[in-house]
């Protein structure tokens, strides 16, 4: 998904636009080099400045413990919608 952060569009892995929640999946392929990490840090700073809650999930966790990855997303969503249970 693409999200407008200030005057820039940035791509994110999982986006709950209404709740302003983002989950990024970190893989060795796309997040291992210095410039890729710098790019991620810049996007993370823009997300925070724009009021987004965010977390990162290692690709291995998503593959081998998907319920743990879902728990991370649910935790952020519940912080945005504390009066209702997220299903």
Residue 21: left if φ>0, alpha if ψ -120 to 50, beta else—which one? beta
pLDDT average, residue stretch 72-82 = 87
Residue among 19, 13, 18 nearest 62 (CA) = 13
What is the model's pTM?
0.80
Per-residue pLDDT band at 38 (split at 50, 70, 90): confident
- pLDDT for residue 86 is more than 80: no
What is the per-residue pLDDT across 43-59, written as a single tens digit (0 to 9) for each?
999 999 999 999 999 89
- pLDDT for residue 82 is more than 90: no
């Amino acid at each position: 998904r693409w999200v407008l952060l200030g005057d820039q569009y940035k791509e994110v892995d999982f986006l709950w636009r209404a709740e302003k929640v983002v989950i990024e999946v970190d893989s060795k392929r796309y997040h291992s080099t210095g410039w890729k990490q710098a790019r991620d840090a810049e996007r993370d700073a823009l997300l925070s400045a724009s009021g987004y809650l965010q977390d990162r999930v290692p690709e291995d966790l998503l593959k081998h413990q998907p319920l743990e990855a879902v728990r991370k997303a649910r935790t952020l969503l519940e912080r945005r919608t504390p009066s209702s249970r997220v299903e």
